[in-house]
Each structure stands twice: as C-alpha cells, then as structure tokens.
Structure 1
Amino acid sequence: MTPRTVLITGATQGLGRGIALDLAARGDTVLLHGRDRTRLEAVAAEVRAAAPDAAVRTYLADLGDLDQVHAMAERIREAEPRLDALVNNAVAGGGAEPLRRELSRQGHELRFAVNHLAPYALTRHLLPLLTASAPARVVNVASIGQEAVDFDDVMLERGYEGLRAYCRSKLALIMATFELAAELDGTGVTVNTLHPAHLMDTDGVRAYGLTPVVGIEEGVRPTVRLVTDPDLGSTTGRYFDRFTHTRAHEQAYDVTARARLMKLTHELIGAGVSRVVPGGEGVVPR
C-alpha cells in the first residue's frame, strides 16, 4: 500500500533516521519518535527537505518511562486517522559504561525496559489503530546478539553487564514477536522481527567500544523490506537475519518460556493496553 503511514521509534539517529528518509522518499507519511525535542525536530526538518512531498509528524517520549509510552500512544491514536506500519527500532545498547546497571523510570533494568517492555506496550496500545488500518505491519528490530532470559534474575541484579542485558532484552523482544503474531493471526496485522545488519555505524556500537563494520544503509534495506514488500503481506511470526528467514535462539521456541515471559511482561506494563479477543471483533482494553 502506498502511501503508507509509518511510525518509526528511535528516529533521531542511526537506523531509525535512515528508515525515515527511505520511506519518506517513497511518498509515505512518516511519524517520527524521539526522546530529545531538538534532535527530533532537526531530523523532521531533514526528512522534509529531502522529501518535500512527504508528510512528517513528530512524537516525543522517553521509552524508559512506560507512562510516557502510554501517553504517546494515546496521542497517536487521537491524532492519526490510520497506521499502516509500526517499526519498533529505538534501542538501549550495551552502553559506554557496561558495568553500570541502569534502571527505567518504573525501576526495571533499562535495556529490558527500552528494548522489550516499551515496544510491546506501544504495540499493544496501538492495536486498535493498527487493526482498524489493516492490512498493517509491525516490525521489531532485534539483533543476532541473543542470550536466554534467566527467569530467576530477569532484571540482571547479579553479574550485570550491558551487552548481556542487551542480548537478553532482544531475545525477549523476539519471543514477544512470536506470541503477538500468533495472537493477531487473522486480524490483518502481521508481526515480524529481524537482525538488520552486523555492527552498523551507529552511536550505540561506538559507545560500547566496538568498531562498525557496515554503513546504516545495510540495515535500512532489510528493515524497509518488511514494511513495504507486497510479497510479505501475509508473512508473520518470523525472525529474519537481514533478508533470510532463519531460526532465533532456541529459547524463542520454548512455549513454556514464552508464556512465562508474557505473564511477567503483562504484569510489568500494567493495565490499559489492548488485547485481541478470540472470536471477537478487533481489540478491547486489557
């Protein structure tokens, strides 16, 4: 479908900025999320200059605060007539001080909060708009870096290290992708996840002390493909390594582990999100 309306989280730099520029050049309406107003408006101006015919709107929120996630979703639902795709791209990486354990506003380990809880909560809150706009797509930007979630220490209070926290949070995001795809089957909303590229030239990669291997455009292409490719219109519940459907970490296929993760996730994100009612129409408040 063209033109689409696409929400991109973490759009003020790196991969998110690249996705926004690509989709705007295709004539899509791009909804840009960021947590810094100055940077958000600067990227919006850049996208408008590069694609004068594209509509660009901005939404401000810190994804380390679930209250702000919920509030942003409400603003989007009130302001936007439709939403054809949601790209959950915002990320907390390994960090410049990887041994310093950080917490979200609600007291959750920061990487788990930003990389898993926030995108899941945002998607849940936007389900009424996504289902009303169907066919619609949710694309969760994960990583090839995955580590099993330890349910005895989900928040990594023992042996904390930033990259380990990042890898666990990304696997949690993949597990949630599979669960949500199954739940939304038949609604016209697809949910997929991908590793966009290895060690892209981003601030997060450099901050952790790693050397970038490829440019941002290498990650833009496979991510945008999941948003735009008509051949993937009914593809859902899959993990891609760039363009290739492949298997994620084995824990992602452990039904018991996924159920345990989702129970915890729903407890942590709280009330007010939406769920699909089997045999019902659309979504209702949780």
Structure 2
Amino acid sequence: MRPIDQQTILITGATDGLGRALAARLAAEGATVLVHGRDDQRGKATLQEIGSRASWYRADLSSVAETRALAEAVRTDHPRLDVLVNNAGMAGPPSREESTDGHELTFQVNYLSGYLLTRLLLPTLTAPARIVNVSSLAQQPIDFDDVMLTRGYAPMRAYSQSKLAQILFTVDLAEELAGTGVTANALHPASLMPTKMVPTPVSTLEEGLEATYRLVTDPALDDVSGRYFDGLEEARADAQAYDPDARARLRDLSERLTAP
C-alpha cells in the first residue's frame, strides 16, 4: 500500500461508532478521508472532529438512486481511491420494512448498497487498493426462494442474512480481482461493541477499531484477499460463503436489483 498520508479512503457510515473512530484515526495519520453518512449535522460535527483532510458525502443507502449519486460524486472528486470501507449498516427493524426501491430494508442497507457502491467505484480503486466489508459473526444462509423475507420475517434473520451476503460478495469479488493488486476482505470487528445498534456492549470500540484498522493498513495483508476475519484472527464464515453456486446466484440477483 501507499504511505497512509498519500491515501484516499472512503468510509460509509462514518458519523458514528466504528466508522467515526476509524475516520478519526486515519485522518490523524494524514489520510484523506471521505466521510459518508445520512445526516448533514452529524457529518459537519464529524469533520470538525477529525480535521481538514476530510470531506463530507451525504447519501441514504436505502436508495439505489442515492447510492449511485454517492458513487458519482466520489468519482468526480477523487479519480483514485486507495481503500473503500463498506461499514454502514443497520439492525433489522422489529417488523418487515421495504426500501423505496421495494427491497427488504436491511438487505438493501447492509448488503445491496455496498455491492452497488463497490461495483461503481471499482474503476477508481487503483492498485494497490483494498475493499473492506464490515460484516458480523451473526450469519444465516440466504434463502434464495425468499431473499426479501416476505415469509417468516424476524429482525435477527434479516440482519444475519444481510451480513452473510456481504461475505459471499467478498469471496466472489476476491476471485474476480485476483492478480489485479486490489484485495477484498470481510470482518466481524468485535462482539457487541458500544454502538447505536447495541444496548448492552460486551467489548470495546477500540477492539473493533483495531481489527478494522488492521485490514485497512497492515502491510502484511497486501496480498491477502477473499478472507473473513473475526477480530484480529482469520476465521471461517458460514459454509454458504464458500459455495460457488450460491455466490453466482447472489451475484445475478444483485445485478438485477441494482440495474439502472
């Protein structure tokens, strides 16, 4: 990787919790950090905290159109990205909700928006570059007969399916990018960190920050791709992540759902 003070790094969901802490640390080390979020006031507060090497990008990732607009704005301002951190996410709502595009909300925010954003920004990720998908230890196989959970919706099921989808995409993307100098990895940062989604944390934000920061910056990971990490340790995700047929089905579905 290039020296940190020569890198441009986009972090989605960077106005709170892990994303904000990661943005602050990288900016303090001299990186140009692109801060994404949904709320302009929180965005302004984040920029004030982390300094002048940061820029603000507002977009609601529950909208395909706004996700496309975010990618276009980033491409216009920064023809080269060094790292994309797909960190934005939400807990499954108590009852099933749909996005404005008609997709199950958790699936769209946690997975589909990151898929689309990554696809649109790939031309700007100039080797050596990294894609880091912030996933979770909570994983549940995708039911391809009912991906949108129209039957038997449960908040944890929605969350766990979306997080496993991120890992399937990571493994698939790593195979696609093999030999290009662009890597893709996923991680569970830490168990139940103190964020807005976790009322009773059992680990510290610093633990999750350290694990995520490592995937962004550690030179030892320059050639590591397609892996899933539990904190600082490489781990095995749910078996579906390593099923080529499942990954192909998810890829085809994702292309259809995000098509213009």
Both structures adopt the same fold (TM-score exceeding 0.5): yes
Q: Which residue of 2 aligns with 1:252?
A: 241
Runs of 4+ in 1 over 6 A off after TM superposition: none
Q: Which residue of 2 aligns with 1:188?
A: 181
Q: Which residue of 1 aligns with 2:61?
A: 63
In structure 2, distance between residues paired with 1:34 and 1:166: 20
Alignment of 1:200-239 (within 5 A): 200-206=193-199, 211-239=200-228
1:34 paired with 2:37, answer yes
CA shift digits 1:117-156 (9 cap, x unpaired):
00010000001100xx210000000000000101111001
Q: Which residue of 2 aligns with 1:109?
A: 104
Of the candidates 149, 153, 168, which is equivalent to residue 175 of structure 1?
Answer: 168
Compute the TM-score of the two structures, normalised by the length of structure 1.
0.88
Say if 1:196 and 1:223, in contact at 8 Å, map to a contact too: yes
One-letter amino acid matched to 2:206: E
Structure 1: stretches of 5+ with no match in the other structure: 49-53, 272-286
Structure 2: stretches of 5+ with no match in the other structure: none
Number of equivalences: 257
Q: Which residue of 1 aligns with 2:116?
A: 121
Q: Percent identity at matched positions?
A: 55
1:74 paired with 2:67, answer no
Shift of 1:63: 0.3
Tell me the secondary structure at the aligned position of residue 197 of structure 2: helix
In structure 2, distance between residues paired with 1:251 and 1:177: 12
Of the candidates 145, 150, 161, which is equivalent to residue 143 of structure 2?
Answer: 150
Of the candidates 8, 14, 38, which is equivalent to residue 17 of structure 2?
Answer: 14
Shift of 1:172: 0.5
Shift of 1:163: 1.4
Shift of 1:94: 3.0
One-letter amino acid matched to 1:26: E
Shift of 1:93: 1.1
Q: Which residue of 2 aligns with 1:89?
A: 87
Say if 1:140 and 1:193, in contact at 8 Å, map to a contact too: yes
Shift of 1:204: 0.9
Compute the TM-score of the two structures, normalised by the length of structure 2.
0.97
